[in-house]
Amino acid sequence: MEILAKAKKTTKKEKPLKIKGAEAVVKSLLAEGIDLIYGYPGGAIMPVYDEFYKYQDRLHHVLTRHEQGAIHAAQGYARVSGKVGVAIATSGPGATNLMTGIADAQIDSTPVVCITGQVGSNLLGSDAFQETDIVSMSTTVTKWNYQITKASEIPEVLAKAFYIAKSGRPGPVLIDITKDAQFGELDFEYKKCKKIRSYNPIPEMDITQVLAAAELINKAKKPFIIFGQGVILANAEEELKELIEKADIPAASTLLGLSAIPTGHEFNMGMVGMHGHYAPNVLTNECDVLIAIGMRFDDRVTGNLETYAKQAKVIHFDIDPSEIDKNVKTNVAVLGTVKKTLAALNPLINSNINKKWHQEFKDLRKIEHEVIIHPEINPTKEKLTMGEVINAINKETKGEAIIVSDVGQNQMFASRYANFKQSRSVVTSGGLGTMGFSLPASVGAKLGAPSREVVAIIGDGGFQMTIQELGTIMQTKIPVKIVVLNNEFLGMVRQWQEMFFDKRYASTVMTNPDFVTIVEGYGIKAKRVNKRENLSVAVSKMIASKDSYFLEVIVEKEGNVFPMIPTGATVSDVRLK
């Protein structure tokens, strides 16, 4: 009896803890396993920040220099860690400054939860100081959003926010919390969300579709795989590798799918797309079965849809039903997480070696190497090229670094020439193409993978869009390596102006400041290189540094990135020069 009495005593349910809404926000984050957030304080979110101060031994806050920096840092963290990134800001301009990053996260399927402060609920709709209707504004660029006006809503809504952000096809969620809800009291009890009525993030796999896909693949004479970020998000790298090797199928990546399989894998044919590799682009229009895995047939991949892979049977593996038949008509659609669907497919696949088909890839790769790659990384011209800078970084990092590229020519050279040995090594803005992404994203990437080398590759234009985040690096002492490829142009726009606008360089010439002096002002070691004979030593010194390091490389002004598929052209019309 005494034992039973003790058991009853120990199992007695404790009363919920009565706390303020602001503390409930912090406790909810901790309950989700969050120990790192990025943000910028302000009046409407100040109660939550006051609680951060009390919990700073358990919840580390990174003070960025701009709210856009906070959301990009959260994205970088999420992309390399596989966890949900968290960004926080105040109302009005603080909230609107998150919008670019939220839109970026939406189109690139990045799981982030954004928390914004809001004016008191009694002031909503009154045009109060720093009031914006951020919920209405963010509706089209979030997976879900919600405005909390009562403290009692906080635990349940935040639990839903994290579940929605990371489940199924990941994406951004925004939670707006009025100031009175932060001050209000509630009986705190947190339960992780595991299911939401009518929300089915992972479609049920149809085994008949898997069987149909296997039949097409086994009968194919010229099969070809294009894989995207869906493979990485599903942790399906091994399943993809097994399929490629078992069926002997050439494969190529989208921009965001890079690093899912090692660059040096014998069946990895490179990257498809506007500035992708020659062989996979041309042979997309010659394969008889096109197997798309975790990718969405973006226009930068397909070129002219009227002529894209019309000769091929198309198999599409994806978690999102809305992507099926959206751009490219599918013969077989296999819905579900690709880790599960590929695992079901692989036992059904036969080895189907076609040496002639592989030779076609080899022949075209040889052409590209002779015409483009070799001259780019072993130039005879006086000025340094972007490609040789990336190649120098390859030699020092041995393909083991995380490359965080910005947008523009620097992005395309990095994606084309960087080598990757492990997954989650590429962080870049894909669908939205956000200049200024790289510097703050590299901060988040380093915190998400502290044991790995993180190298930010940035153009001189993109660098100046978020240059203030050098202050974040200075204050936090996060050891990221920053490489600015300076051609004193908005390089990608200039390339188009050269090719399609008779070299009318309208508003693309950049008059830049002394980057080295500015960076040194932030207490970061800095070096400028403008001669080939100094490049290797400078890159080696940068990578060897235990602290953050900035390297500015003066590259040729009118260098172009090739191959290139002009807008409106078909993938087989890719230009080598």
Task: Tell whether 272 is covered by a domain.
Answer: yes
422 is catalytic: no
Contact call for residues 44 and 22 (beta carbons, < 8 A) = no
Residue 307 lies in a domain: yes
Residue 86: beta bridge partners? Answer: 113
Number of domains in the chain: 3
Residue 14's pLDDT is what?
A: 64
- Is residue 564 in a domain? no
pLDDT by residue, tens only, the chain of 577 residues: 343 344 344 445 567 789 999 999 999 999 999 999 999 999 999 999 999 999 999 999 999 999 999 999 999 999 999 999 999 999 999 999 999 999 999 999 999 999 999 999 999 999 999 999 999 999 999 999 999 999 999 999 999 999 999 999 999 999 999 999 999 999 999 999 999 999 999 999 999 999 999 999 999 999 999 999 999 999 999 999 999 999 999 999 999 999 999 999 999 999 999 999 999 999 999 999 999 999 999 999 999 999 999 999 999 999 999 999 999 999 999 999 999 999 999 999 998 888 999 999 999 999 999 999 999 999 998 999 999 999 999 999 999 999 999 999 999 999 999 999 999 999 999 999 999 999 999 999 999 999 999 999 999 999 999 999 999 999 999 999 999 999 999 999 999 999 999 999 999 999 999 999 999 999 999 999 999 999 999 999 999 999 999 999 999 999 999 999 998 899 989 999 8
Phi, psi of 314 (to 5 degrees): -110, 125
Cα–Cα distance measured from residue 315 to residue 243, given in angstroms and rounded to the nearest whole number? 14
Q: Annotated catalytic, 179?
A: yes
**491-518 as b/e: b if 16+ CB within 10 A:** bbbbbebeeeeeeeeeebebeeeebbeb
Do 149 and 120 lie in one domain? The reply is yes
**Residues 426/258, Cβ–Cβ less than 8 Å:** yes
The residues near 32 (Cβ < 8 Å, ≥ 6 apart) are 84, 158, 159, 162, 192
Tell me if 470 is assigned to some domain. yes
AA identity, residue 299: D
Same domain, 58 and 123: yes
Burial class (CB in 10 A: 0-12, 13-18, 19+), 320: middle
Those residues whose C-beta lies under 8 Å from the C-beta of residue 421, and which sit 6 or more positions away, are 262, 263, 264, 398, 399, 400
The verdict on 344 and 387 lying in the same domain is no
Residue 527: other Cβ atoms inside 10 A = 18
Range of the domain at 265: 207-360
CATH number of residue 477's parent domain: 3.40.50.970
- Same structural domain, 245 and 101: no
Tokens for 386, please give them.
């972007």
Give, as one character, the DSSP assignment of residue 564.
Answer: B
Is residue 525 among the annotated active site residues?
A: no
The reply to whether 479 and 355 lie within a common domain is no
Q: Which residues pair with 403 in a beta bridge?
A: 426, 455
- In whole angstroms, what is the distance from residue 467 CA to residue 530 CA? 21
Report d(CA 288, CA 41) in Å as an integer: 56
Looking at the structure, tell me whether residues 137 and 29 fall in a common domain.
Answer: yes
Report long-range pairs for 470-474 (Cβ below 8 Å, ≥24 apart).
Answer: 470/439, 470/518, 470/519, 470/522, 470/524, 471/65, 471/522, 472/62, 472/63, 472/64, 472/65, 472/69, 472/73, 472/440, 472/443, 473/443, 473/522, 473/524, 473/548, 474/522, 474/523, 474/524
**Cα 487 to Cα 484: distance, rounded to the nearest angstrom:** 9
| 200 assigned to some structural domain | no
Considering 492, 495, 562, 564, which one is annotated as catalytic? 492
Q: How buried is residue 88: exposed, middle or buried, by Cβ count under 10 Å (0-12/13-18/19+)?
A: buried
Q: Which residue among the candidates 6, 56, 129, 185 is catalytic per the annotation? A: 129
Report the C-alpha gap between 220 and 352 in whole angstroms: 8
Residue 446 lies in a domain: yes
Rounded Cα–Cα distance for residues 492 and 470 (Å): 24
492 catalytic? Reply is: yes
Strand partners of residue 293 = 227, 317
* Residue among 46, 83, 130, 205 flagged as catalytic: 130
Element (H, E) at 6: helix 2-11
* 227 and 295 Cβ atoms separated by less than 8 Å: yes
Q: Are strands 402-405 and 426-427 parallel, antiparallel or unpaired?
A: parallel
* Alpha-carbon dihedral angle through residues 268, 272, 275, 278, given to the nearest 10 degrees: 70
Say what the pLDDT of residue 148 is: 98
Report CA torsion sign: 336, 337, 338, 344: negative
* Residue-level pLDDT at 1: 35
Q: Which one of 145, 160, 188 terminates a domain?
A: 188
- One domain for residues 183 and 211: no
Q: Are residues 355 and 223 in the same domain?
A: yes
- Distance, in Å, from the CA atom of 207 to the CA atom of 272, rounded to the nearest integer, reads 29
Same domain, 296 and 265: yes
Which residues have a Cβ under 8 Å from the Cβ of 451 and sit 6 or more positions away? none
Q: Which positions ≥6 away from 159 have C-beta within 8 Å?
A: 28, 32, 190, 191, 192, 193
pLDDT at 226: 98
CA-closest candidate to residue 109, choices 68, 67, 75: 75
> Looking at 23, 67, 131, 239, which residue is catalytic?
67
What is the Cα–Cα distance from 307 to 386, expressed in whole angstroms? Answer: 32
Identified catalytic residue from 179, 222, 241, 313:
179
- Residue 320 domain flag: yes
Inside any domain, residue 296: yes
- Residue 2 confidence (pLDDT): 44
Please state whether beta strands 85-89 and 268-271 pair in parallel, antiparallel, or not at all (unpaired).
unpaired
Residue labelled with tokens 């010229």 = 222
Asked if 211 and 62 sit in the same domain, the reply is no
Say which DSSP state 40 is in. -
**Whether residue 214 is found in the same domain as residue 340:** yes
359 carries an active-site annotation: no
Do 460 and 492 touch, CB atoms closer than 8 A? no
Q: Cα angle vertex 22, ends 16, 24, to 5°?
A: 30
pLDDT of the residue at 7: 39
Task: Clarify whether residues 159 and 215 are in a common domain.
Answer: no
